[in-house]
Chains A and B, each alone.
Chain A
Amino acid sequence: MEAEAGVDESFRYAFQNHMDSLNTAPKWWREFKTNAFESYANMPMPRRNDENWRFANRNNLSLGKFKFDGDSVSANVSSLVEKSRFTRAQAGGYVIADNKIVQANRAPKELTDQGVIWSPLSEAILEHSDLLRDYFMKQGIDLGSEKFAHLHSAFVTNGVLLYVPKGIEIEAPFCSYNWSTSENGTLFPHTLVIAEANAKASVIEAHLSEGEQSVFSCGVTHLFAGVGSELNYTLIQNLNENTLGFQINSNIAGKDSTVNMNSVILGCGHYRSETHGQIKGSGAHVDMRSMALADAEQEIDQRTLQTHSATHTTSNLLFKNALKEKSKTIFSGLIKVDEVAQQTDAYQTNRNLLLSNTAEANSLPGLEIEANNVKCSHGATTSEIQEEEIFYMLARGIPKDAAEELIVYGFFEEILENIEDEKLSYCTRQLIRKKFGS
């Protein structure tokens, strides 16, 4: 059944409650949220003919049962904090449970003295209102989840803001852990990173569940990479499989900047992720990588866009999916090269490894090229594990399950090797291992 535009009274009441809790926030923020809510209410649900939703299941997008007006954390906070240690070192970190800060590791003084801002969003609204006003939700949403982006704007209360002034290079990562703990709860993780000219920073974000409760999560990450800057971003998504998840990512790469976006997707029953690399400055380079391991009846739906609108830019996308049991993946990617973007190199690769006879992989790798002096290519393959590979391992005495697992690790290695922090790399591999039940 097609869900209609509009919202019912109880939902409107929930939004009112949400707004009542923000009565000390700046006026622009309250107006922004009210407008976002109305846009959400007026926008139709994704329709059958919508190319951005091709192959996607639109039947379980109903949000009726979820609680939008906040909830208390229903988990042992110290245990969550204990589990929020994915990296060897960090320049700062926040642990957020059901949109509330439960632990804050602020940036060291030598960084804040130089103008670095590392702030929870709830504080930034009050303390860095002007900065947020210029950058918050300013990248445009264009891959199909516009309605859900408005929903995010309407209800978002927390997340992180990282601002790195000109020329400041920070090696250690900033971390943001977002936990879901409450039955029928909602999560709106938000990450906003602004790097001024020649700045350098890394951000690691994790979306995690404590318990098996059903949850709606709708996150947004926006990266702004100034002239000559370098930003590295890694998202680890391991929400439980009762979660309906949306993640809307976008980055704007300025002149001569480098942006690396990595995603490790393991959780959610139905997960929709959108990633837009906007390569706007000449000489910029954007890398977008993702690995997803899907099992049971998971649906992982990923849409990407690489937009080149300046000369001498490069982008490289590699999305790898391994599918077990009755899972389903969709990769829909588009490289768009504007008329002016001569001397562009853009690559897009999607590889799917089917591990079961009931899994389904969809691939829509697209190109729209309007400049002629370009090197662009895309490739997509969908295949099974080669019998000979398994045979070779069996012959070495490795049991079949373990052999399969090893091959999948090998398949993902191309993505995982880009995670620089050793501990994060180890933790990620542990999470993958858990999904194999070992």
Chain B
Amino acid sequence: MTTATNNIEIDRDKGDFKYAETHRFDAGVGLNEGTVDYICDVKGEDDWIRDFRKRALKVFQDKPMPTHWATKDLENIDFNKIRYYLAGDQRAKKSWDDVPDEVKETFERLGIPENERKFLAGVEAQFDSEAAYSNIKEVVAKDGVIFIGSTDGLMEHPEIFKKWFGKVIPTGDNKFSALNSAVFSGGSFIYVPPGVKVSHPLQAYFRINAENFGQFERTLIIADEGSEVTYMEGCTAPKFDTATLHSAVVELVAMPGAKIEYVTVQNWSSNVFNLVTKRAIAHENSVVKWIDCNIGSRLTMKYPGVVLKGRKARGEVLSIALANDDQHQDTGAKMIHAADETTSNVISKSISVGKGRSTYRGQVHIPKHLKGCKNNTECDALLINSDSRTDTYPAITVRGDQNYVQHEASVSKVSAEQIFYMQQRGLSEAGAMSLSVNGFVNDLTRQFPMEYSVELKRLIELEMEGSVG
């Protein structure tokens, strides 16, 4: 498709550029109590946050790397060489006009202001450690919807924030949630009042511009009773020669009857360690849906979870991962059933290209005395080249005889005969490969918001170029 190719050429370099660093605030290299104090001081945080951060730092330092099950590549992260806080300002601007020029230019090149005008209800754009821009459309704000940076959320709405902050994902959940809890900065805070249905998505964009940097945003979304919200996040970074760390914590709270859809399209450059903890609590009759597309990064470890706490709550994880040469997508899902008649659905599709490796890890837990719980898990892996690799490690525990769980996984390849068939119709080999890979994920992407399925399709086409021959 010739015109698409032109767009791809633009896309390919879309994220790969950077501007000179002009940070007014820099916590320096390495991590210790002083780093935490520096962050608290420049942000002007309350003592309870300082204490929270310091306790977390201790947990992070004491916890071993989870290499008894995870990849040894984690040992290549040198925490002493990373910069933990870089910012021009602590408070996000509400108008693009007030955003510093090179930051504004970055987001313009990524198409953020244009998307905002076209289809978004609100946008937050984070540049390194802090949000540079955050704005919500008046029509949404007047319903009482709060959409601000997490730093502002802490200051302006402590009564809501404090109640849920760190409750869905405790500091000590894992080593990286502890790290985030110690040095978090940026991310979104969203509160949707009872009954409010936000018709257009809210979007956050995370941009790493600095080398040897760690981005640790913290997002908290609370959808109150009967409300609905869709949140989308995008991530990019330029291609550096050294490793960069992205370690976010995202907590979602769906109150009774609420619906939250959280969409991620990640396109990190291949030196980013992307170690993210995402979890939701779903109360009675609520629905939480994670849509998670992982492309790029050196190592992604991310297992979005839903704790199904109220009767008839529903959790879903729909994920697509594409691992290219020297990339490892270690992703999956956790479904913790904690109430009767809760249901969960996990559909994971992974594609391994070249020497890429994709791994699915899943956990489904249904404790005893629960009735009428159901889980369905499907994992399909597609291997493109002879040295591609895929692993699947689900863990399923079911107690009690009134629940139903099924897990299915398959591994397949695009056969030479399929490629021959498509080539006989005039498609190039790469075009044929790209078409079949898109076909492989098609039934999933159909369920994604339109704008994202188009973007994803293009990203896949891009990744498939040069994968054959």
Asked whether the complex places CB atoms of A and B closer than 8 A, the reply is yes
B-binding segment of A67-75, A233-241, A262-270, A374-382: A374-382
Contact yes or no, A380 B406, CB < 8 A? yes
A-B pairs with beta carbons under 8 A, tally: 132
Contact bitstring A337-371, B, C-beta under 8 A = 1, else 0: 00100100000000010111111111111111111
A49 an interface residue at 8 Å Cβ cutoff? yes
Q: Tell me how far the C-beta of B15 lies from the nearest C-beta in chain A, rounded to whole angstroms.
A: 29
The docked-state distance in angstroms from the alpha carbon of A374 to that of B397 is 29
Knowing A49-B68, A51-B68, A377-B411, the reply to whether A369 touches B381 (Cβ < 8 A) is yes
Contact yes or no, B409 A377, CB < 8 A? yes
Contact yes or no, B392 A367, CB < 8 A? yes
Residue of B369, B387, B394 ringed by the most chain A CB atoms within 10 A: B394
B368 an interface residue at 8 Å Cβ cutoff? yes
Q: Which residue of B lies closest to A51 (CB)?
A: B69
Contact yes or no, B413 A373, CB < 8 A? yes
Taking CB atoms and an 8 Å cut-off, the chain A residues in 292-339 that contact chain B are 339
Contact yes or no, A359 B395, CB < 8 A? no
Taking CB atoms and an 8 Å cut-off, the chain A residues in 52-93 that contact chain B are 54-55
Contact yes or no, A370 B401, CB < 8 A? no
Select B409's contact among A352, A354, A378, beta carbons within 8 Å.
A378
Q: Tell me how far the C-beta of B328 lies from the nearest C-beta in chain A, rounded to whole angstroms.
A: 13
A130 an interface residue at 8 Å Cβ cutoff? no
B404 an interface residue at 8 Å Cβ cutoff? yes
Contact yes or no, B411 A373, CB < 8 A? no
A212 an interface residue at 8 Å Cβ cutoff? no
Contact yes or no, B395 A364, CB < 8 A? yes
The docked-state distance in angstroms from the alpha carbon of A248 to that of B101 is 68
Interface secondary structure of B, over-half rule: strand
A372 an interface residue at 8 Å Cβ cutoff? yes
Q: Tell me how far the C-beta of B406 lies from the nearest C-beta in chain A, rounded to whole angstroms.
A: 4
Q: Which residue of A lies closest to B391 (CB)?
A: A368
For B405, the chain A residues whose CB sits under 8 A away are 363, 380-383
Contact yes or no, B403 A384, CB < 8 A? yes
For A365, the chain B residues whose CB sits under 8 A away are 392, 394, 407, 409
Contact count band on B: 35 or more
B398 an interface residue at 8 Å Cβ cutoff? yes
Contact yes or no, B398 A352, CB < 8 A? yes
Contact yes or no, A357 B402, CB < 8 A? yes
The docked-state distance in angstroms from the alpha carbon of A363 to that of B405 is 10
Contact yes or no, B392 A366, CB < 8 A? yes
Q: Which residue of B lies closest to A331 (CB)?
A: B396
Contact yes or no, B399 A376, CB < 8 A? no
Contact yes or no, A374 B411, CB < 8 A? yes
The docked-state distance in angstroms from the alpha carbon of A380 to that of B386 is 27
For B394, the chain A residues whose CB sits under 8 A away are 363-366, 380
Q: Which residue of B lies closest to A378 (CB)?
A: B409
For A376, the chain B residues whose CB sits under 8 A away are 410-411
Knowing A357-B368, A365-B394, A367-B392, the reply to whether A377 touches B408 (Cβ < 8 A) is yes
List 14 interface pairs A-B (beta carbons < 8 Å), by A numbering.
Answer: A54-B395, A55-B395, A339-B387, A362-B395, A362-B396, A363-B396, A363-B405, A363-B407, A367-B381, A367-B411, A380-B408, A381-B407, A383-B405, A384-B404
Give me the interface of A with B, judged by CB distance under 8 Å: 49-51, 54-55, 339, 342, 352, 354-385
Q: Sorted from nearest, which 9 A-B pairs have the closest CB atoms?
A: A372-B383, A354-B401, A367-B392, A384-B401, A363-B396, A377-B410, A360-B399, A376-B411, A382-B398
Q: 17 extra interchain contacts, Cβ-Cβ under 8 A, other than A360-B397, A366-B391?
A: A49-B68, A362-B396, A364-B393, A365-B392, A368-B390, A369-B389, A369-B390, A369-B411, A372-B387, A376-B410, A376-B411, A378-B392, A380-B405, A380-B406, A381-B406, A382-B398, A384-B402
